[in-house]
Amino acid sequence: MKIEKLTENKIRIVLNSEDLETNNIDFESVLNNTPETQSLILSILNQAEKDLGFYTQDCKILIEAFASMDGIFVFTITKTPSKTSKCNNFSRKKVQNRQKTFKIDDNIIYSFENFDEFCEFCKALHIEFLQHKNIKSICKNTSLYFYKNKYYLIFSGINVDYKNLKVFFSILSEFTDRIDNFKNLDAKLIEHGKAIFKKNAIPNTINIFVK
């Protein structure tokens, strides 16, 4: 983990895949603001106070999280002093009370052990969202490839402003895990994998195999 002071009121934290595994954190954990994520943020703030003199008591906190395609997480924490405080002390306030903004990559890949597992995910998604047409609002495209005995779902052009994004990824996490280190995997899938659906993989699966 690397902590860097950008300004008097802003720090940046870089976590690699090993850091994430150690702290039991992944993309869904950040979206769902799990206890593990809260504990990690508090630990970061403690370390920032000790190493950088970055105090946050009585400050408004903005936490921005960016997940790169190679499995790197970058947190940017910005503090805004209140009118009655100079932020010169640290207080263990609950992280869920702080303001948070999350950013993600445009492209994300998930793997499924078999096609039935993918269909079960689509069925659960269809039940939750009722009208699967709304699923198209999540991203520009979903494609499904078969490669080395697994099925890979590629999300392209994620709509980070989609109001039900958290619910969507919560459902997805029940069936599979995100591939964090997938450098060039999308290119391999397109070149060497078998395309099941090049476009609209989720809506097509719902139409053909779920309904």
pLDDT at 58: 72
The Cα–Cα gap between 126 and 190 comes to 27
Residues 93 and 45 in one domain: yes
Residues 99 and 119 in one domain: no
- Is residue 178 within 8 Å of 108, Cβ to Cβ? yes
Report the CATH number that the domain containing residue 139 is assigned in CATH: 3.30.70.1950
Q: What b/e sequence results for 121-134 when a residue is b if at least 16 CB atoms lie within 10 Å of its CB, and e otherwise?
A: bbeebbeebeebee
Model confidence over 25-34: pLDDT tens digits? 776 676 666 7
Residues 19 and 68 in one domain: yes
| Percent over 90 (pLDDT), the chain | 17
Is 52 strand, coil or helix?
Answer: helix
Q: Which of 78, 103, 128 is the last residue of a domain?
A: 103
Burial of residue 20 (number of CB atoms within 10 Å: 0-12, 13-18, 19+): buried
Range among 84-88, 120-124, 142-146, 158-162 with highest mean pLDDT value: 142-146
Residues 123 and 141 in one domain: yes
Q: Which of 87, 103, 119 is the last residue of a domain?
A: 103
The Cα–Cα gap between 55 and 199 comes to 49
What letter would DSSP give residue 97? G
Residues 136 and 98 in one domain: no
Residues 46 and 121 in one domain: no
Tell me the average pLDDT across 129-134: 57
Q: What is the mean pLDDT of the chain?
A: 77
Tell me the average pLDDT across 27-43: 74
- Greater pLDDT, 79 or 166: 79
Q: Pairing state of beta strands 59-67 and 99-103?
A: parallel
The Cα–Cα gap between 148 and 84 comes to 60
Model confidence over 65-122: pLDDT tens digits? 776 655 677 888 888 876 554 444 433 343 433 444 444 555 788 999 999 999 999 8
pTM, to two decimals: 0.53
pLDDT at 196: 94
pLDDT at 117: 92
**Number of Cα atoms under 13 Å in the Cβ half of residue 46:** 9
Tokens matching residue 120: 């079960």
Residues 80 and 170 in one domain: no
Residues 150 and 134 in one domain: yes
Q: Is the pLDDT of residue 182 over 70?
A: no
Residues 81 and 116 in one domain: no
Residues 204 and 132 in one domain: yes
Q: Residue 66: which domain range? A: 2-103
Instruction: Specify the range with the lowest mean pLDDT, choosing from 50-64, 72-86, 117-131, 177-191.
Output: 72-86
Phi, psi of 92, rounded to the nearest 5 degrees: -85, 70
pLDDT at 45: 85
Residues 98 and 160 in one domain: no
The total domain count for the chain is 2
What letter would DSSP give residue 131? S
Residues 141 and 82 in one domain: no
Q: Which of 46, 71, 103 is the last residue of a domain?
A: 103
